Every structure is written in C-alpha cells, then in structure tokens.
Amino acid sequence: MKVYNTLTKQKEEFVPLTPGEVSIYVCGPTVYNLIHIGNARPMIVFDTVRRYMEHKGYEVNYVSNFTDVDDKIIAKAIEEGVPAEEISTRYIAECKKDMEAMNVKPATTHPLATQEISGMIEMISVLIERGYAYNVNGTVYFRTRKFEEYGKLSHKNLDDLRSGNRTLLVSGEDQKEDPLDFVLWKPKKEGEPFWKSPWSDGRPGWHIECSVMAKKYLGAEIDIHAGGEDLIFPHHENEIAQSECCNGVPFAKYWLHNAFLNIDNKKMSKSLGNFFTVRDISKQYDLQVLRFFMLNAHYRSPLNFSRELMESSKNGLERIVTAVGRLKDIMKEGADREVSGAEQALLEEARGFAAKFDEAMDDDFNTADAIAAIFELVRFANANVNTDSSRQYAKAVYEEMVQLSDILGLTVEREEEILDGDIERLIEERQAARKAKNFARADEIRDELLARGIILKDTREGVKWQRA
C-alpha cells in the first residue's frame, strides 16, 4: 500500500511503526455551530482510510478531537448569554448526529481539549525548561527559530516567511522575541473561561491541544496524522515543532491532507450565500449521497460541489442500491441448486473486481477508481445473474458488492419501503412532540424518517414530505 506523504511530497510504501497496528490522529472540528460540508470532507475521507486499513487486517487506533474552547465558541456563548461549555456540548451532540448520518464511525477516542488541560500545562512546562518556550507577562510563546526543522511539512523557509510573506506569520504582538513565535498559553480576558497555570489564569493555544491529545491517546510517535490541507500551515507545522522538541522523536511518520471543497467553483463563504451545513444537505438528500459524492474524487484533488454533481451522485448510488436489491430478490427466487461449473468460472471473474478495488485503494486511497470497480461489478451482475442462476451464486456476487461498498462506508442495502400511512402517522407524532416541546423526540422522528429515505419540509401550510 502506498500513501502520499505531505512531509516528503511523494508516495511512500506504508509501513506501520508496530506490525499489524495503525495509529491515526485526525484534527476534528471546532464546535460552535453545525458542521458544514467542508468539515465533512476530512471526516468522510479519513473514516474511509480507517475502514480500508481495518479491511487489510490492521488494528486501528483512530483518534479525532473536538476543539471545545476557542474564540468562536466564546463569541457564540456571549451572543446567546450562556456558558461556553453549553455551546460546545450542544454542537458536539449535533456533530455526532451528522457523523452518524454520513456513516462515519465513532473514533476509538474523541478527546475534548478542555479535559486535557493538565497535559498541556505539563508539555508547555517541559518546553520552557528546555528553552523552546518563554513567558512574557503570562503569555507563553514557542521559539520557532530554535527548532531547526521548522517549515519541513509546509516546505516554507523561515526567512522568506519573515521578510516577504507577512500574511503567513503566526499572529503576533510586540512582546514576542520573534514575529514567527506562536502562542502556547494566553491569559484570560474578562468573561472568558480559564484554567490556572504557573504563568497566568488563562487557556491554551490551539496548536498545543492536538500535540497533547495525540501523545496521550496514541503515543509520542504515531503512524498517520491527517486533516484538511488548510491545516498544514501553521497548525500542523506547529504541532510538529512542539511535539518533537518535547518528546525527542519524530511526531508522525505519514502526513495525509485532503484538498479544499468549492461550491460552484467558488470558495464557500457566508458572504457569498453559498455556505451549506451538512444538516442543510440532509433536508434534500440522504447523506449517503453526500458521502458517495465526496468519494467520487481523489481526496487530494480539489472538489467542486454543485446540485448537478449531487444529482449525478444520487443516481450513481441508486444504481448500486438497485443492483443489490435485484440480487437479494434472486437469492430468494433463483434456482435452489448447487453452483454450476459455469457459475464458478463467472465467480472467479467477479472476484477480479475486488482485486481492482484493492489495487485502487492501495494506490493512496483512490476511492474514485475503487467506485469504478464497484460499477464494473454492477454491470457484471446485471449481465450475468438472473432468475435462472443458483441462489448461492447470486449470494456470492451480492456479498462481494455489499462488502466493497461497506469498505467505503456506503450503505447499499435498503430497508423495506415505509408505507405512506406509517409516514403520516410518524409526522403526526412529531407534530404532537413539538407542541409538547419534546424537541428531542421530534428530531428523533425526523432522523428516523430520513434514514428510511423520507425527507420532511416544514412549510406554512404544514409538513410536506417526499421520498429521497
């Protein structure tokens, strides 16, 4: 298996630090609002990497954090007049709902930054002792120039950063020794949450959080560190500097980064009115369609989101779902006999698509080519499996199609179609729950219907519904 390593800018053979085991750290979202579809891309991509590693027989320890203390969380809390913890707790729960709907498996551990403050204070203390960090009036900075390899991930030169590219500097004040030094700990401002430390009552900088959580749950040296390409500099660069200066060993062996997601060829932004949350998309599409859309491009390629592409993805996923349903019918209605010699030969051909799938995934997780291999299997099944086929032969082709789809996190087995009367009954129950202010039950019913392919739309005339 080969992976593209941002650190070396080339594909490398994947060799884990411990045979048979893989440690993966993925930077998670800052939880101050519902996650947007840009957040969804790394969640889906690296969940698929994890699933494929497990398919290959590795025991995967997958850690993805929630940043639950941040300026944006504090601003939202002030706006609503509630504690910051209430905001982060609310949006962690909402994020987990969206992840489940996208079929993103829960991480082995989902650490919260606020629960790891003591480890952060400990790491900062070590960096100060070793001369890599310094305290100025309660703010602790990291001495970037003291780490000679700074810039090795982003392939940026420190002198160029300082002289010609002020926009890339890690934000600074006059009290820093060097404009490139970055914050490890900062004193609290009025009304902000804070923790006691040897330097001031305050809170950690963003970068130190991930270094500490990766070390605690995976060890000083890890196999894979992943996230969006926007995190390469300064976040991941700073993580390397802190971790390697504190721990004395290389931080991560392989660095994987997914490319940006654009909307109709433009950067997603609220000011352009092209900002979509995952929840927005779920009102129009089953989120399996979003997952299929994300995996239809290589993770290192920029991805353009549009209604047309989502419709195309919906149709593509439906082709696989229909083929699986047809095979299930043949498993019930086909010939009740042993697999024939001709069918055995066809099964060998069918297994070739699984080999193509693995070949694509072994080449830096090329999910687009892996999906193409599934479509080849769909065409094969449509042409070579029918009601005259033996049930066992149909079952073998069905199992291969479902297994390959499952590795990509695609659920291609549909539940029995829900009847119109049952839908109306559940909508009535939801309306009653909302009237009684039981919003948890109302949301539960909406999610249950969505999982069964029913999309609800609240209008002035009442609740409208349609099948996805």
Higher-confidence position of 419 and 350: 350
Q: What is the mean pLDDT of the chain?
A: 93
Minimal CA–CA distance to 305: which of 55, 6, 296, 235? 296
164 pLDDT tier (thresholds 50, 70, 90): very low
Q: What share of the chain is helix, strand, coil (3-state, %, to 5)?
A: 50, 20, 30
pLDDT > 70 fraction of the chain, expressed in percent and rounded = 96
Domain boundaries, the chain: 2-258, 278-407, 420-467
Inter-residue contact 379 to 426 (CB < 8 Å)? no
Res 168 pLDDT > 50 = no
pLDDT of the residue at 74: 94
Q: In degrees rounded to 5, what are phi and psi of residue 453?
A: 80, 20
Angle at the Cα of 159 (from 158 to 160), degrees rounded to 5?
A: 90
DSSP line for 7-54: TTTEEEE---SBTTEEEEEE---B-SSPPBHHHHHHHHHHHHHHHHHH
The sheet that has 202-204: what strands, in order across it? Answer: 133-136, 139-142, 182-187, 202-204
Range 347-356 average pLDDT: 96
Instruction: Give pLDDT tens digits for 396-452.
Output: 999 999 999 999 999 998 766 677 888 888 898 998 988 898 988 888 888 888 877
Which residues on neighbouring strands pair with residue 446, listed in sequence order? none
Average pLDDT (235-264) is 96
pLDDT for residue 461:
79
Inform me whether the pLDDT recorded for 165 exceeds 50. no
For 278-407, CATH gives: 1.10.730.10
Give the lowest-confidence range in 141-145, 289-293, 371-375, 443-447. 443-447
pLDDT (tens digit, 9 = 90+) per residue, 87-123? 999 999 999 999 999 999 999 999 999 999 999 999 9
Residue 287 and residue 98 in contact, taking contact as beta carbons nearer than 8 Å: yes
Residue 89 contacts residue 23 (beta carbons within 8 Å): no
Q: Specify the residue for token string 């049930």.
A: 391
CATH 3.40.50.620 fits 2-258, yes or no: yes
Give the H or E element holding residue 441.
Answer: helix 439-451
pLDDT by residue (tens digit) across 70-93? 999 999 999 999 999 999 999 999
Q: Is the pLDDT confidence value at 171 over 70? A: no
Beta 10-13 vs 2-5: how paired, if at all? antiparallel
Range of lowest pLDDT (104-118, 133-147, 248-262, 265-279): 265-279
pLDDT digits (tens, 9 = 90+) for 19-46: 999 999 999 999 999 999 999 999 999 9
